């Protein structure tokens, strides 16, 4: 999902944010190369310049209370973001994002305009596509933010496959609410031990 030096990742711990440095190959990155900044964007640890999308990451932390942020140029996500204004909710797993995924308007990478566009598109969502650019997800932990990006790329790939067959069906509000209700009642997505039944006495 991250070819060459494309994409960036960050994690917030208290009032500090660890973020990948600009122009870094994430596959070869070492812990010592990670930049650490405060919430104002000032470098407090590390010798490399933070990602050019630092302002975007900080905006998400300030406005959405994220614990971690993942940004990629994943191919399916970028394809959808280059032609559509929204990824419709064609599978119930997308309700984990909040439903249909919007496409934030295009702006130059690293700009305050792009940061504002993405932060605005994330209202009520934990994922958004970025027009002619890529995708971004956030979560309470790095593992959850990354898991959301994997799911978003899967959903975009699924959507692209359905287009070859016809117009994809999006879940209705009623269907979406039924999924939410069933997930809550069944604690869907949570590992649970099976309650052992006492043997019957004959």
Tell me whether residue 53 is one of the annotated catalytic residues.
yes
Among 28, 53, 113, 174, the one annotated catalytic: 53
Q: Decide if 117 contacts 102 (C-beta within 8 A).
A: no
Q: Decide if 140 contacts 64 (C-beta within 8 A).
A: no
Question: Does residue 86 sit in helix, strand or coil?
Answer: strand
Beta strands in 96-193 (DSSP E): 101-104, 127-130, 134-139
Residues in the chain: 202
Give exposure, 20-37, as e/b (b: 16+ Cβ within 10 Å): bbbebebeeeeeeebbbb
Task: State how far the Cα of 103 lies from the Cα of 84, in Å rounded to an integer.
Answer: 7
Residue numbers annotated as active site: 53
């Amino acid at each position: 999902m991250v070819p060459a030096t494309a994409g960036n990742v960050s994690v917030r711990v208290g009032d500090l944010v660890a973020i990948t440095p600009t122009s870094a190959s994430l596959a070869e990155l070492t812990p010592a190369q990670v930049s650490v900044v405060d919430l104002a964007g000032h470098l407090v640890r590390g010798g490399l310049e933070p990602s050019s999308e630092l302002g975007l990451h900080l905006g998400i932390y300030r406005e959405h209370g994220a614990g971690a942020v993942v940004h990629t140029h994943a191919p399916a996500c970028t394809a959808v973001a280059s032609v559509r204004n929204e990824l419709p909710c064609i599978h119930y797993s997308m309700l984990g994002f909040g439903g249909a995924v919007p496409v934030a308007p295009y702006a130059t990478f690293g700009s305050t305009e792009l940061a504002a566009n993405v932060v605005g598109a994330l209202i009520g969502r934990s994922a958004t596509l970025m027009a002619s650019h890529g995708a971004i997800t956030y979560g309470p932990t790095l593992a959850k933010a990354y898991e959301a990006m994997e799911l978003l790329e899967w959903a975009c790939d699924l959507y692209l496959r359905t287009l070859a067959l016809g117009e994809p069906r999006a879940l209705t509000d009623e269907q979406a609410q039924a999924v939410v209700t069933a997930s809550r009642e069944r604690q869907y997505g949570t590992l649970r031990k099976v309650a052992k039944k006492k043997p019957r006495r004959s």
